[in-house]
Amino acid sequence: MSDPALLFQYDLYPERVMKMGKVTKIETERGTFALKETKLRKDQMDRILYLEERFKQLKFESFVPLERTKYGDAFVYTGDGVAYLTPWVDGGEGHAAQKEERFILDLAELHGYTARDQAFSEEVIKQSYQKMIFMRESRQFEMEKYVNAIEKRIYLSPFELTFVTHFHQLMKYCDLAKTRLDHWYEQVLEAKRYRTVFCHGKCSPSHYVMNGGRGYFINFERAVIDTPVRDLAYFIRSSVHPFQFNPATTTAHIGRYESQFSLLEEEKELLASYLYFPESVFNSVTRFNENRQYWPHIKHVRLFTKKIEVMNGIDHVLQTF
């Protein structure tokens, strides 16, 4: 369905339309709106609607509600996907650091509002544990294969040399991630408790906007019910800027989060396990091999070494955690 026919469903007649990333900004006489065209399954749409309803009941206001069409639909089918409309919230307000501070507090508030103790099931916990071990081991195995392949060569490229140099350190972090995951597993079994929250699912600063001194979460497309650690780890990873990383900021973020919503001891172990696992460094290897962005070789090397520094910084944060 073309955009004009889509906007007809909302009785909107655009005065100005601007494509901004994945969103279209639409200025009309009745206000400014954000139109997102995406692919969502029925269960994802249902979850977003359920979340909205729940947020309203809880009087949680840090989210941007979906506009309904004149026929009462929250989503409009577009042939190959769906579209939804929200009021436009200008996100340019506030310094990046201020925004992150506000973001982590709102995230803690969201988790606090929706926290729920789940009925303890040893089987479910065991499955989660085994699944995580399997996924991480597969990733580690890929990296081992890669290092074995490049070690056979006589001449290594600067990137390969850097990777080989740091490989054992990376494996050490993988072991630490495994150890902390084991701790989590043992502690959960001992405490016989497991709690969940509404997780945003893609908790990066780009999905949070500040306006009028308030912060709003946007894009709940990947929302799930899961452990709060899932969102928190995603946020910490996505808020780390490799070239300006300061471990004190990460410590402060965790402290700020815990001032609103305290993590249980076993959740702290799980968070440490997530953060120790050097997924982001492994992704640099994939990015180097694919080089879709056509970066110069040296850029890959610099990013890789910076990520190693970030891992060392996170290690420092986690030693006292």
Partner 1 sequence: MNLLTLIAEKYGFKELRWVQTPDVIMTHVGKRKVSYWRERDLLEYHLNFRDRLFFNSGIMCNRMIRTLNQEAFIPIDSGFLTVHDFVEDEFAYELFPEMVGYLLSSLIRCGIEQDDSHTLSPFPYRETVKALSAVKTLDPESYFLLISLIPDVKKRLCYHKDILNGMIPFSSHSLKEVMGQLYFECSDEAPVSMCKVLSNEVHLWYERKKRSDFNHYFNALLSEVDRELRSALIQTVIAPWEWQTCIQSLQNEGSNVDRVMKEFVEKWEAMKEITGLVGLSILEGRVAVHE
- Count the Cβ atoms, other than its own, within 10 Å of residue 82: 21
Indicate whether 1 belongs to the interface with partner 1 (CB under 8 A). yes
DSSP H helical segments within the chain, as ranges? Answer: 3-8, 42-58, 96-114, 122-151, 158-191, 228-239, 247-260, 265-276, 279-290, 297-319
Tell me whether residue 78 or residue 280 sits nearer to partner 1 (CB atom).
78
Please pick, from the candidates 71, 155, 243, 294, the single residue that binds partner 1 as defined by CB under 8 A.
Answer: 71
Indicate whether 53 belongs to the interface with partner 1 (CB under 8 A). no
User: Is 243 buried (19+), middle (13-18) or exposed (0-12) by CB count in 10 A?
Assistant: exposed
Please pick, from the candidates 19, 20, 43, 79, the single residue that binds partner 1 as defined by CB under 8 A.
Answer: 79
Stretch that binds partner 1, among 3-11, 54-62, 152-160, 173-181 (CB under 8 A): 3-11
Cα 175 to Cα 178: distance, rounded to the nearest angstrom? 5
Tell me whether residue 21 or residue 72 sits nearer to partner 1 (CB atom).
72
Cα 148 to Cα 126: distance, rounded to the nearest angstrom? 32
Please pick, from the candidates 54, 56, 70, 214, the single residue that binds partner 1 as defined by CB under 8 A.
Answer: 70
317: amino acid identity, one letter: V
Q: Please state at what angle helix 297-319 crosses helix 265-276, rounded to 10 degrees.
A: 160
Spatial CA neighbour of 34 closest among 12, 61, 57, 59: 12
Tell me whether residue 84 or residue 277 sits nearer to partner 1 (CB atom).
84
Please pick, from the candidates 17, 38, 52, 68, the single residue that binds partner 1 as defined by CB under 8 A.
Answer: 68
Whole-number minimum distance, CB 71 to partner 1, in Å? Answer: 5
Indicate whether 67 belongs to the interface with partner 1 (CB under 8 A). no
Stretch that binds partner 1, among 76-84, 93-101, 246-254, 287-295 (CB under 8 A): 76-84
Indicate whether 8 belongs to the interface with partner 1 (CB under 8 A). yes
Whole-number minimum distance, CB 2 to partner 1, in Å? Answer: 7
């399997």: which residue's tokens? 134
Tell me whether residue 37 or residue 101 sits nearer to partner 1 (CB atom).
37
Tell me whether residue 28 or residue 32 sits nearer to partner 1 (CB atom).
28
Tell me whether residue 70 or residue 316 sits nearer to partner 1 (CB atom).
70
Q: Tell me, what DSSP letter sits at residue 63?
A: B
- Residues within window 10-39 making contact with partner 1, judged by CB under 8 A: 11
Whole-number minimum distance, CB 290 to partner 1, in Å? Answer: 36
CA-CA-CA-CA torsion sign (94, 96, 100, 103): positive
The token pair at 269 is 């172990």
Cα 298 to Cα 287: distance, rounded to the nearest angstrom? 13
Spatial CA neighbour of 178 closest among 80, 292, 276, 308: 276
Please pick, from the candidates 5, 96, 149, 161, the single residue that binds partner 1 as defined by CB under 8 A.
Answer: 5
The token pair at 116 is 């729920």
Please pick, from the candidates 19, 59, 72, 148, the single residue that binds partner 1 as defined by CB under 8 A.
Answer: 72
Question: Binding residues for partner 1, per CB under 8 A?
Answer: 1-2, 4-5, 8, 11, 68, 70-72, 77-79
